[in-house]
């Protein structure tokens, strides 16, 4: 379970990214984070990943408080969270197999396990034929699918996606979202997006942010700008 | 390993500059180490050379001289004692002045004193030995070269300290230059490191390739430096043999072991190679550690 309790995040120059935000997300829940640019969506994802810590309030991921300075617990948390970035963050000097394998290598998986599991997820995202191809030879949609494969490999319980369709055309966006749909009920999925069509068609829980405040928390909701 | 070799090949100028810095440092260090070992061996050898010479009165019976010799031998402070009788002294005198018949005519063995030439186990015992001899009867004169001894001991100390300071300087300089070079390389991989951190990689996992890269460079640089220096030493062996003629062996004490440095000894060179590997690896590990530290805050 993910629990935000009166979380405020201020940056050193004084701008406020989040203000008194509280919500809970259950295990295996599918949630959209929506709101205009600068509303605080990415900050929430960064707090879950302990890429930053709140200025006040608490963020609990299961029993782990992200404000705690515990190096080993932080590593453990990150090994349970997969993240998909808007700009993919695919390593250009590694082929697709190696890019996905990184997610397992960091947890010390064996060579055999890596081979089997990488092929499994590549098949799931429809890239089984391209494991030896380098990123430069792939389209944006395919790169995003590689990023998703890397994020879901290794039984990560939570999947975060920061504007996963932000750089994709509508058709490719739907293809990518279909992959998230396949994972529904298997992992906790939190997707930060602007895409109203996608949010409205999925009919999932929506957390709406505006100016760092949580203005709406709607079960099976939709979204209007 | 393939990834590490690929990484070295992908940044050829950084790889070359890191290699050259390590090579320069290790090359100088090995030369310095071998030179210091030889010098130290020579000094240790010379430290045992200074002698106390006791000249006895011509009337002193041989039995009294042997009594003094035996007492010195029992003290444990003496490496060896050479007794030179009046007749032997005369032989030496004749050999030294064989080209001067006038001097040979004027001197007989009766007027030359018997003497004891004493070699101490440590140079610091020499004043004590001289003092002991001074207290004995029948001795005309005691000679020992205190000034030369003092200068020798001072020189030994300066060479040891100077070498240590120079080693530390080379070490420090190499660490700074290699840290900077590695930082350039890591800056190119900043995004990859950031990603690895966010997906749960430990610091040691992120550091490992850079440290292995450094170790490979250190091993390569020390091997190349060592092989070049070995070739030079083997080439210079006949000159050294001629130069060090008369010195049976030189040895140096390295913490727990005594190594013979002369005549050329494979064990000493193996130890030198291992030390240079350790030195190169140490520089590489510390530099990689410092360079990666910047990007590894959780």
**How close is the nearest chain B Cα to the Cα of A99, in Å?**
10
Mean pLDDT, to the nearest integer, of B45-63? 80
What residues of B are in contact with residue A73 (Cβ under 8 Å)? none
Q: How confident is the model at residue A75 (pLDDT cuts 50, 70, 90)?
A: very high
Tell me the two tokens of residue B67.
Answer: 């009594």
- B199 and A102 in contact by Cβ < 8 A? yes
The predicted pLDDT at position A224 comes to 58
Mean pLDDT, to the nearest integer, of A84-113? 90
Q: Is the bond leading into B190 cis (omega within 30 degrees of zero)?
A: no
The predicted pLDDT at position A134 comes to 94
- A91 and B192 in contact by Cβ < 8 A? yes
Tell me the two tokens of residue A52.
Answer: 């930053």
Residue entry with tokens 């890269």: B213
Buried b (16+ CB within 10 A) or exposed e, A172-184: bbbbbbebbeebe
Encode pLDDT of B115-155 as tens digits. 998 888 777 788 888 888 888 888 888 887 666 667 767 77
Beta-carbon count within 10 A of B144 CB: 19
Beta strand spans in B85-238 (E): 115-120, 139-144
Element (H, E) at B52: strand B51-56
Mean pLDDT, to the nearest integer, of B204-223? 90
Length of chain A: 225
Give me the total of CB pairs closer than 8 Å, taking one residue from chain A and one from chain B.
42
The predicted pLDDT at position B145 comes to 66
Mean pLDDT, to the nearest integer, of B89-112? 83
- A74 and B298 in contact by Cβ < 8 A? yes
Where is pLDDT greater, at B188 or A68?
A68
- A75 and B200 in contact by Cβ < 8 A? yes
**Domains of chain B, start order:** 2-46+163-293 (no CATH), 51-144 (3.30.70.3040)
- B196 and A102 in contact by Cβ < 8 A? yes
| Dihedral of alpha carbons B196, B202, B206, B212, sign | negative
Residues in CB range of B109: below 8 A, 6 or more apart: B86, B87, B89, B90
**How close is the nearest chain A Cα to the Cα of B206, in Å?**
9
What CATH number is given for A2-218 in this structure?
3.40.50.300
What residues of A are in contact with residue B201 (Cβ under 8 Å)? 75, 106
The predicted pLDDT at position B248 comes to 76
Q: With a cut of 60, say whether residue A225 has pLDDT above it.
A: no
- Which site among B11, B199, B202 would you substitute to test the A interface, given the most A Cβ atoms closer than 10 Å to its Cβ? B199
Residues in CB range of B256: below 8 A, 6 or more apart: none
- Which site among B185, B198, B204 would you substitute to test the A interface, given the most A Cβ atoms closer than 10 Å to its Cβ? B198
Single out the residue of B147, B176, B154 nearest to residue B43, CA to CA: B154
Encode pLDDT of B186-196 as tens digits. 888 888 888 99
What residues of A are in contact with residue B208 (Cβ under 8 Å)? none
Q: With a cut of 70, say whether residue A203 has pLDDT above it.
A: yes
The predicted pLDDT at position B134 comes to 86
Encode pLDDT of A49-60 as tens digits. 999 999 999 999
């Amino acid at each position: 379970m993910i629990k935000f309790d009166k979380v405020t995040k201020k940056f050193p120059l004084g701008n406020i990214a989040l203000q008194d935000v509280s919500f809970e997300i259950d295990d295996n829940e599918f949630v959209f984070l929506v709101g205009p640019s600068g509303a605080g969506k990415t900050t929430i994802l960064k707090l879950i990943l302990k890429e930053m810590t709140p200025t006040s309030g608490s963020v609990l991921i299961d029993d782990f408080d992200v404000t705690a300075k515990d190096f080993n617990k932080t590593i453990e948390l990150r090994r349970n969270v997969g993240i998909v970035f808007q700009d993919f963050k695919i390593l250009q000097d590694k082929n697709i197999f190696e890019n996905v394998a990184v997610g397992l290598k960091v947890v010390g998986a064996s060579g055999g396990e890596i081979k089997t599991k990488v092929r499994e997820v590549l098949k799931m995202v429809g890239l089984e034929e391209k494991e030896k191809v380098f990123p430069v030879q792939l389209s944006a949609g395919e790169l995003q699918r590689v990023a998703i494969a890397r994020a879901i490999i290794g039984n990560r319980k939570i999947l975060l996606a920061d504007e996963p369709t932000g750089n994709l055309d509508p058709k490719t966006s739907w293809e990518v979202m279909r992959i998230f749909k396949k994972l529904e009920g298997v992992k906790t999925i939190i997707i930060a997006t602007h895409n109203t069509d996608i949010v409205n068609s999925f009919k999932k829980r929506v957390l709406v942010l505006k100016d760092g405040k949580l203005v709406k928390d709607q079960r099976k909701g939709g979204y209007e700008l | 390993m393939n990834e590490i070799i690929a990484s070295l090949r992908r940044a050829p100028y950084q790889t070359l500059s890191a290699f050259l810095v390590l090579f320069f440092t290790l090359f100088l260090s090995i030369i310095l180490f071998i030179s210091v070992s030889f010098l130290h061996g020579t000094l240790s050898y010379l430290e045992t050379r200074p002698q106390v010479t006791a000249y006895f009165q011509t009337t002193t019976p041989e039995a009294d001289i042997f009594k003094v010799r035996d007492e010195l031998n029992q003290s444990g402070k003496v490496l060896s004692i050479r007794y030179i009788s009046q007749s032997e002294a005369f032989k030496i005198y004749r050999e030294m002045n064989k080209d001067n018949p006038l001097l040979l005519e004027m001197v007989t063995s009766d007027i030359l004193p018997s003497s004891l030439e004493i070699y101490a186990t440590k140079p610091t015992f020499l004043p004590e030995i001289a003092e002991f001899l001074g207290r004995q009867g029948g001795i005309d004169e005691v000679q020992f070269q205190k000034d030369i001894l003092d200068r020798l001991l001072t020189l030994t100390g300066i060479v040891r300290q100077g070498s240590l300071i120079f080693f530390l300087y080379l070490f420090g300089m190499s660490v700074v230059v290699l840290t900077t070079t590695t930082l350039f390389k890591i800056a190119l991989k900043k995004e990859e490191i950031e990603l690895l951190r966010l997906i749960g990689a430990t610091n040691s996992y992120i550091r490992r390739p850079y440290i292995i890269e450094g170790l490979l460079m250190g091993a390569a640089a020390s091997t190349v430096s060592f092989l070049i220096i070995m070739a030079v030493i083997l080439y210079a062996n006949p000159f050294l043999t001629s130069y060090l003629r008369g010195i049976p062996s030189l040895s140096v004490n390295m913490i727990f072991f005594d190594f013979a440095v002369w005549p050329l000894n494979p064990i000493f060179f193996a130890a030198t190679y291992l030390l240079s590997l350790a030195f190169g690896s140490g520089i590489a590990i510390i530099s990689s550690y410092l360079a990666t530290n910047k990007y590894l805050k959780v």
